[in-house]
Each structure stands twice: as structure tokens, then as C-alpha cells.
Amino acid sequence: MYRPSAPDDLRSPDRRRWLKQAGQLAIAGGLLAGGGWAVLKRKQNLWQVRRERTLMQTSVAVTCLADDVQAAGAAIEAAFARMAATAAQLTRFDPAGPLAQLNRDGQLAQVPAQLDAVLRQALALSRLTDGAFDPTVLPVLRYFETLRGASHTDAHEQRVAEDRDALVGYRGLVLDARGARLLRPGMAVTLDGIAKGHVVDQGIAALRGAGIEYALIDAGGDIHAISGNDPARHWNVGIVDPRDVGRVAAVLQLRNAALSTSGNYRVFFSADRRLFHIVNPRTGWSPQSYSSVTVMAPRSVLADGMSTAAFSLELPRLSALMDAQDQQWLAFSRTGEQRWRSRELPLIAGTAERV
């Protein structure tokens, strides 16, 4: 996983040879195949220990580089246990869970610690992005889910979505001494655009707590790498081409940071991909400017939330907001033909216009 730079053209013979030599890249926005334990001998007396499981309805892989296989295995188990416990507090799909109770009753007197932390982070991102990120879009998203498999959408569907959008507004979600409350009947919260990042952060914390120096968690588009104190060490992360998900469009270097990719190519509800799992809170419709946005940040919860918000931001605003937060990013146009990136993005393969 620690590799030098390589040719820029991903289609060239040299590039294909380099990718093959580099071994399996971590794929941002994609899924890694296989399961169970995998142990490989690496250089400098390090073992690569990897475990993959299904969590949060996606494939999650934890990879450690360590000189003690048993210790690495125990650390991975601790990371999965902590991630599973955290995910249980944040899911909207468990009818007995706290988030489902908040959505059902409009209030939650006792907010579990992990849920409270993510709700507060979600509201902070909502304020930072002027509502481009909004955890209360669930009424619209639920309507989108009823349209799954539609060959196309027309004005009727958009009008219904706009009606549901009247229930959206992060200021209607209140966290105070009385717990969590939704101020209007019919409001509901989803943390789909930020929870996975927080869960990954908890896994990384467990690995660090176990003394692991080199590790990577890949949760189907949310990736976090720790690389020790050696600035020469990094992980290579491939970015999926939204026009061809079997192809890597770019490769980034990632060290002691998180990366999240949101796209319209994995979860979409209409055949034309005009409706997918991201809602623009200002329009009540899926945003149409991009097909993929990748954000690099110090924590996964920030990268996850910002990659979701970025979909609803025009390019100048996206660039300015990321610069202000000192976060790196890569965006593909709706057709996938154009690419833009921040000036400091550690891009080692692929091309994109600097903004």
C-alpha cells in the first residue's frame, strides 16, 4: 500500500502495470470483494492482517500492518465491536432504536451519547453549509424510495417531492436539556449522510487505542488511514470512475486522514439516475451538478458530511467552503466528462482541473 508516484494516464500500459504491482487499492466509492481473515507477509517484518464484514448495509474492511498478527487481529475485532455498537445508536432502520423513536414520537428524552454527538455534528455542518447538509431530509428521501425502479420522473414526482420538502429544515431539530425534539409534525431525521463517517472514526479510535500505527478502514466510500509518524508512509486510494464503476479514475495518497466519496452511481432510484440517495434541501430533489464528489478531511465524520453537502453546492461555493476548512476535494461533473480539484489534493494518478 505504500507506493511511489506513477504515470498519470490510467489507461496507459505503464499505469496498468503500476496498478497491478501496487496490489489491491483501497477503493473510495466502491466495494472490496471477499471476506474472512486475510494475512499477508509485507516488507520490514510487517504482516498485513485484514478482516471484512457487512456493517451499516455495506462491506467494511479493516486492514492493519503490524509485527504481531495476533495483536493485530485482536485490534481489528475491537474496532468492529466498537463500530457495531456505535452504528446501532445511529441507524434509522431499527424500529426499537433511538433514532426511530425520535422520528416516530417527535422527541427523545434520553439521547445516547453517540447519537447526541452525531446530531450535534450534523447541525454544525448544516449551519456551516447554509443548509446544503440537512439531517431532516428523510420525508423526501422516503418518497424517493417509493419510486425505486422508475424508468423516468416527471413534473408530478417533482411536485410531490417539493411538498415533502416543506417538512425539511434543520432549525426544526432542537437539542437541549429536554433531549432531542422535532418542532413540526411529520419531520424526520436521517443520518445516512454522516453516520458512517462517525462509525469509521470510532473504529480508528479503537485501533489507535490498541497501539496500531498503520491501518486503514474502508467502509464502501468512507476511508480512514493511519500511517504512523513517518511522512514517507501513506496509503494509495483509488477513486471510482462514475461512468464506469469497474475502472479507477484517479489515485490519491492518504495518510493520517479520512476520505469520503459520494456519488449517484451506487444508490439511485430512477433509471436515469436523476433521483438518488442525496437530497438538495433547497429544492427537494436530487442535485444534478455532479456525479461524484470526494472530500479529504482530518476526521471521517467531516469528510462524510462534507461530501454529501458538496453535491448541493455550485462549484465556486464548494471550492471556497473547502478552502476555508482546509479540506481537499475532487469532483466529477454530472456527465463525468469534467473533473475539478483543490490545489493541494495529493493526486498521484489521473487528471483534474485545479480550482
Start-to-end CA span in the chain (Å): 29
Over residues 60-88, the pLDDT tens digits come to: 999 999 999 999 999 999 999 999 999 99
Identify the pLDDT of residue 27. 59
Q: What is the mean pLDDT of residues 202-212?
A: 97
Identify the pLDDT of residue 43. 60
| DSSP code for 33 | -
CA separation for the pair 333, 289 (Å, rounded): 6
Looking only at the bridges linking them, the beta strands covering 339-341 and 347-349 are: unpaired
3-state class (DSSP) for residue 215: strand
Q: What is the CA radius of gyration of the chain?
A: 20
Is the pTM higher than 0.85? yes
For 35, how many CA atoms within 13 A lie in the half-sphere containing its CB? 5
Over residues 20-45, the pLDDT tens digits come to: 333 345 656 543 333 455 666 666 67
Q: What sign does the dihedral 173-179-185-186 (CA atoms) show?
A: positive
Looking only at the bridges linking them, the beta strands covering 58-66 and 47-55 are: antiparallel
Grid coordinates representing 70 are 495476533
CA separation for the pair 98, 100 (Å, rounded): 5
**How many C-beta atoms surround the C-beta of residue 111 within 10 A?**
18
Q: 36 burial class (0-12, 13-18, 19+ CB within 10 angstroms)?
A: exposed
